[in-house]
């Protein structure tokens, strides 16, 4: 008999919840027993180091706050996330937190959560809905601004250059707010400057392997880092995993990344910061994965039936080749 992987995942989530709810921990205090808050957390998967750090931050922050986190890994599939959210509703968790893999397609399941009276927090990636009352609030980065920051660095770097500058863009997961925001913000600035031309844009799904494959293919088809005879001057990659995937490929072809080709990446994981220090990357736009502590604060607020802001933002910076890089504190992932 053929059992679908998604069914197995659902069963695991349900079984986990069953065991979990059955042994819901009670904390004794001097006056009374406190039942911990139960949070159902639907995570996208583990496509990047950023994501692994994000999951870890959530688990650690929940443990610090004595919040019981029921974690479901959707293995990069929206349908698995919808199933996980439905199981959280069945088991009446107190709060649902989820990272939407893509922006659209959540209204039905969110309506079910609302009817069940369970508040929902959207974190990291945002959603598109016609009914904002379907979730309590969003916590995460401004991905459009990250795209703008990447473009502003290029304007600064090439402020005295008059020749045309060709860009290869490697996008993250299409339909996700992270990739769509970076795509739009980048163009908003770049398109106003006639020197810059995006000659090729392709999705690498935020995966290290795909970043590598895309650049390998361009090199094997064209023999050089060029497309249809046009040299690639700049690579804008939507995350560090994809960037780190192609850095070695460039080296193998004796292309000096950071010199022969300018590299702009997003996230700021330690390995990318090291490459920035070695001048193999020119700019890294920070995107902070450590959302756990802020998420748990919002969880407690909505659990206690207080309102939270529609959007809670995260502090982020940009690291460039012009900065004092020795001052960067260890990234922790």
Q: Which residues bind ligand GYE (CB under 6 A)?
A: 47-48, 50-51, 124-125, 178, 206, 239, 241, 266-267, 287
Long-range contacts of 215-224 (CB under 8 A, 24+ apart): 215/245, 215/246, 215/249, 215/250, 216/246, 216/249, 218/168, 219/249, 219/253
Tell the smallest beta-carbon distance from residue 136 to ligand GYE (Å). 20
CB of 191 to ligand GYE, least distance (A): 23
Q: How far apart are CA 306 and CA 236, in angstroms?
A: 41
Residue 76 DSSP code: T
Identity of the residue, 144 or 226, whose beta carbon is nearer to ligand GYE in the bound complex = 144
Comparison of 58 and 178: residue with beta carbon closer to ligand GYE: 178
Q: In this complex, which beta carbon is closest to ligand GYE, that of residue 37 or of residue 181?
A: 181
CB 292 within 8 A of CB 58: yes
Q: What does the alpha-carbon distance between residue 56 and residue 51 come to, in Å, rounded to a whole number?
A: 9
Cβ nearer to ligand GYE, comparing 40 with 140: 140
Give 54 or 301: the residue with its C-beta nearer to ligand GYE: 54
All residues at 6 or more sequence positions from 136 whose CB lies less than 8 Å from its CB, including other chains: 119, 120, 121, 298, 302, 307, 308
Using the structure block, give the residue that is written with the tokens 């990636």. Answer: 125
Q: How far is the CB of 41 from ligand GYE (least distance, A)?
A: 15
Q: How far is the CB of 246 from ligand GYE (least distance, A)?
A: 15
**Closer of 157 and 171 to ligand GYE (Cβ):** 171
- C-alpha 111/C-alpha 102 separation (Å) is 17
- Contact between residue 43 and residue 99 where contact means Cβ atoms under 8 Å apart: yes
To ligand GYE, the closest distance from the beta carbon of 126 in angstroms equals 10
Instruction: Name the minimum Å distance from CB 90 to ligand GYE.
Output: 27
Instruction: Give least dist CB 224 to ligand GYE, A.
Output: 29
Question: CA distances (Å), 105 to each of 79, 82, 111, in order?
Answer: 10, 9, 12
Q: Among residues 50 and 138, whose Cβ is nearest to ligand GYE? A: 50
Instruction: Tell me whether residue 215 or residue 291 sits nearer to ligand GYE (CB atom).
Output: 291
Least distance CB 266 / ligand GYE (angstroms) = 6
Closest CA to 258 of 243, 245, 270: 243
Quote the Cα angle for 103-285-308, to 5°. 50
Is 290 within 8 Å of 64 (Cβ atoms)? no
Q: CB of 289: closest distance to ligand GYE in angstroms?
A: 7
Query: With respect to ligand GYE, which residue has the nearer C-beta, 94 or 169?
Result: 169
242-to-12, 80, 224, 262, 265 alpha-carbon distances in Å: 31, 24, 20, 15, 9
φ/ψ of residue 53, rounded to 5: -65, -40
């Amino acid at each position: 008999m053929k059992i679908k992987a998604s069914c197995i995942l659902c069963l695991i989530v349900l079984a986990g919840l069953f065991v979990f709810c059955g042994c819901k921990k009670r904390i004794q205090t001097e006056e009374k027993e406190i039942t911990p808050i139960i949070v159902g957390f639907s995570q996208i998967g583990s496509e990047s180091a950023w994501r692994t750090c994000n999951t870890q931050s959530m688990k650690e922050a929940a443990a610090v706050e004595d919040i019981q986190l029921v974690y479901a890994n959707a293995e990069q599939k929206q349908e698995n996330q919808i199933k996980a959210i439905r199981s959280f509703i069945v088991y009446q968790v107190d709060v649902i937190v989820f990272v939407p893999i893509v922006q659209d397609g959540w209204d039905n399941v969110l309506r079910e959560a609302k009817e069940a009276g369970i508040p929902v927090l959207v974190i990291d990636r945002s959603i598109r809905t016609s009914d904002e009352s379907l979730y309590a609030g969003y916590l995460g980065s401004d991905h459009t601004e990250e795209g703008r920051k990447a473009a502003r660095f290029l304007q600064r770097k090439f402020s005295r250059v008059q020749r045309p500058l060709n860009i290869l863009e490697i996008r993250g997961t299409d339909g996700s707010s992270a990739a769509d925001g970076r795509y739009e913000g980048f163009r908003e600035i770049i398109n106003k400057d006639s020197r810059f031309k995006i000659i090729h844009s392709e999705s690498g799904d935020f995966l290290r392997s795909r970043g590598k494959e895309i650049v390998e293919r361009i090199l094997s088809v064209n023999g050089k880092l060029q497309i249809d005879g046009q040299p690639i001057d700049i690579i804008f990659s939507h995350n560090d995993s994809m960037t780190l995937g192609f850095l070695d490929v460039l080296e193998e072809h004796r292309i000096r990344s950071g010199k022969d080709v300018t590299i702009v990446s997003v996230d700021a994981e330690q390995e990318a910061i090291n490459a920035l220090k070695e001048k193999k990357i020119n700019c890294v736009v920070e995107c902070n994965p450590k959302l756990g502590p802020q998420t748990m604060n919002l969880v407690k607020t909505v659990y206690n039936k207080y309102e939270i802001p529609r959007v809670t933002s995260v502090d982020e910076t940009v690291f460039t080749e012009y900065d004092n890089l020795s001052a960067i504190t260890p990234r922790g992932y």
